[in-house]
Amino acid sequence: MKKLYSTITMLAMMVAALGLTACGGSGDDDEIGGDGGGSSTFLIGTWSVTSGQGWGGYTGDGEAEYLQFKSNGTYINVQFDDGLYITKGNWSATDTELVMKETEGNILGTYTYKILNHTESSMTLKMWGITVNLTKVPDSTIDKYLNGGGSSTSSTFTILQTYQNGNEEPYTYDNEYAIKSLCAEFENLKLFERTSGSYFSLMYPRGDLYIVFPSSKYGKDLDASYFSQGFSDFGEDATEIVRIDPYSAGWYGHYLSGSAKVVKNDGRYITVTFNNYEVYIKRTPQEIKIKLNGTLSFENKVK
């Protein structure tokens, strides 16, 4: 998957990689879930990320990126740049500090930002050496991203991750907004250490999962038209499985059981129904099984 992380997400990734809570925020759950009092009510509404400056000359020049803070203490972070990426969570704030607890997305955790300055229509946030500039826009600005574009699917999609000790982690995506956060795509970039080729990919809190149709078997990258309606050869003979975890480590494996079938291909989306489609991945000494159920539309990124 070609991921171009947002300015806000980039900050969160730096913190998560070191296992820290940013800028001394306590991250206690009881601090999240309200607007933090009168001094922070200016935050309520939708903000456009206009620029960011910091480490390595990072500028945060995505096509579009927004943060929407709601009066009930929840937020939505939307980025659109060669794909739609959506995260959500809870927030609280004072006049000088913003705490965001991501509850749905790829980098779950609690992150604290300093509010360097603000007016009713603009503000500047900072974490570590990176600053982010935002301008307030109408709430309706992000409607086109929440109600159209990105991955479209049926009403429910589930991911079940099972560890060697039998512990299970279920993830249920039961509405259109949640399913779009999976950022399902079809692509054929060369991204992996041990395999390359055309692949279907999705993002979930434990990493990025790839169902790969390797060029070593097919002799070339595959066009989206190869996966016509009724195509069901997602088994061991056709595919390899790769997972890139949140720390960018590669896990490799193969198909185990279950089925997957293309139910629609309109050129823009390849829609696949998974029925107990289970795969195995390993990164010594750990082994994991992942089971997919439901229907997911993968956006065609092959040009």
On whether the CB atoms of residues 226 and 238 are closer than 8 A, the answer is: no
More confident residue, 236 or 247: 236
Better-predicted residue by pLDDT, 83 or 281: 281
> Containing H/E element for 7?
helix 7-18
Cα–Cα distance, 127 to 112 (Å, whole number)? 7
- Report d(CA 42, CA 57) in Å as an integer: 30
CA distance 60 to 130: 10
The token duo for 53 is 């400056």
3-state secondary structure 134-196: EEEECHHHHHHHHCCCCCCEEEEEEEEEEECCCCEEEEEECCHHHHHCCCCEEECCCCCCCCC
**Which amino acid appears at position 170 of this protein?**
P
The letter for the amino acid at 206 is: R
- For 160, phi then psi, to 5°, come to -120, 115
**pLDDT tens digits for 171-227?**
988 777 677 778 899 988 765 556 778 999 998 888 889 999 988 888 778 889 999
Residue 19 has pLDDT above 60, yes or no: no
Q: What is the pLDDT of residue 279?
A: 95
User: What pLDDT, on a 0 to 100 scale, did the predictor assign at position 132?
Assistant: 85
How far is Cα 248 from Cα 177, in angstroms, rounded to an integer? Answer: 26
**Do 271 and 260 form a contact (C-beta atoms < 8 A)?**
no
Mapped onto helix, strand or coil, the DSSP state of residue 30 is: helix
Read off the tokens for 2. 């070609």
The string of pLDDT tens digits covering residues 32-62 is 344 444 468 899 999 998 887 764 444 444 4
d(C-alpha 291, C-alpha 276), whole Å: 6
Question: Does residue 22 surpass a pLDDT of 60?
Answer: no
C-alpha–C-alpha distance, residues 242 and 227, integer Å: 20
Q: What percent of the chain has pLDDT over 90?
A: 34
Q: Is the previous residue joined to 285 through a cis bond, with omega within 30 degrees of 0?
A: yes
Q: What is residue 273's predicted lDDT score, i.e. its pLDDT?
A: 93
